[in-house]
């Protein structure tokens, strides 16, 4: 009998099918690309490729539509939760999420964010917090840390002049309409796995009609911080996590 050799191949990595094959434009070390990949993986695993709608406003987050092959709707600056509310109410069987940065969500969009969460809209808000306006020149954001230097506070944020960093996620956890509020990051393999579990849990809660979820991803902005990707991750670990501690803040699921 002729011997047959069967070759077996161990799959180490596979690009999610929902990730478009286009060059990534984000700066080296940026967290956006990692979060995009997680969203694509989760949507595929849940089998919701044709029933997912993402809403992106202004800022670096707006380019998510280039990379994920799902339905997208752009929104005016800060208005993504309002747009998401309308879409989810019109199509309650859809997975509807917003993808927003800290300048968009926690500044011009504070009203829409708080009221959508307080109403318990069955949407998921993914909140990328890198404590700076990344796209428009590195200006101070509502989440900029005390003493942190930006183009509009070159000597560091001062409470008497600029107020205090806004802990939007802690605020969301106090609202009656939220069912799941968590803070994660994606700078290590372990952190990426934790962020994926959190986003998946939020998506499942949304589809089950359990209320609003907010997933904050504490992130880096190498260009805005004027650091290398390695130094940015180190600075985030030494500074950001102290003020924005990771973990679940509310879980009623």
Q: What is the DSSP string of 33-53?
A: HHHHHHHHHHHHHHT-TTSEE
Sign of CA dihedral 187, 193, 199, 205: negative
Q: 3-class DSSP state for residue 62?
A: helix
Instruction: Indicate the pLDDT class of residue 135, thresholds 50, 70 and 90.
Output: confident
Q: What is the DSSP letter of 80?
A: H
* Least confident range of 136-150, 171-185, 193-207: 136-150
Q: What contacts 162, CB < 8 A, 6 or more positions away?
A: 140, 144, 153
Give the global pTM. Answer: 0.92
Mean confidence (pLDDT) of the chain: 93
On whether the CB atoms of residues 77 and 109 are closer than 8 A, the answer is: yes
The answer, yes or no, to whether residue 46 has pLDDT greater than 80, is yes
The answer, yes or no, to whether residue 143 has pLDDT greater than 50, is yes
Predicted local confidence at residue 8, as pLDDT: 55
Output the CA–CA distances (angstroms, integers) from residue 153 to 104, 220, 223, in the order listed: 19, 18, 16
Predicted local confidence at residue 187, as pLDDT: 95
Average pLDDT over every residue of 117-146: 93
């Amino acid at each position: 009998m002729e011997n047959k050799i069967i070759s077996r191949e161990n799959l180490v990595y596979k690009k999610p099918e929902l990730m478009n094959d286009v060059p990534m434009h984000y700066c080296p070390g940026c967290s956006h690309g990692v979060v995009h990949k997680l969203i694509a993986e989760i949507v595929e695993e849940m089998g919701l490729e044709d029933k997912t709608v993402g809403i992106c406003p202004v800022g670096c987050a707006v380019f998510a539509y280039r990379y994920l092959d799902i339905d997208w709707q752009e929104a005016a600056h800060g208005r993504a939760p309002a747009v998401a509310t309308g879409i989810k109410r019109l199509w309650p069987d859809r997975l509807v999420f917003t993808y927003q940065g800290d300048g968009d969500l926690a500044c011009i969009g504070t009203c829409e964010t708080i009221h959508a969460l307080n109403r318990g809209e069955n949407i998921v808000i993914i909140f990328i917090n890198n404590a700076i306006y990344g796209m428009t020149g590195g200006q101070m954001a509502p989440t900029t840390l005390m003493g942190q230097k930006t183009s509009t506070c070159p000597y560091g944020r001062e409470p008497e002049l600029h107020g205090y960093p806004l802990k939007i996620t802690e605020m969301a956890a106090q609202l009656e309409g939220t069912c799941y509020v968590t803070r994660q990051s994606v700078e290590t393999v372990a952190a990426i796995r934790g962020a994926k579990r959190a986003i998946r849990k939020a998506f499942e809660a949304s589809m089950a009609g359990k209320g609003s979820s907010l997933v904050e991803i504490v992130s880096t902005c190498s260009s805005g911080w004027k650091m290398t990707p390695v130094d940015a991750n180190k600075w985030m670990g030494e500074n950001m996590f102290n003020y924005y501690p990771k973990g679940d803040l509310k879980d009623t699921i």
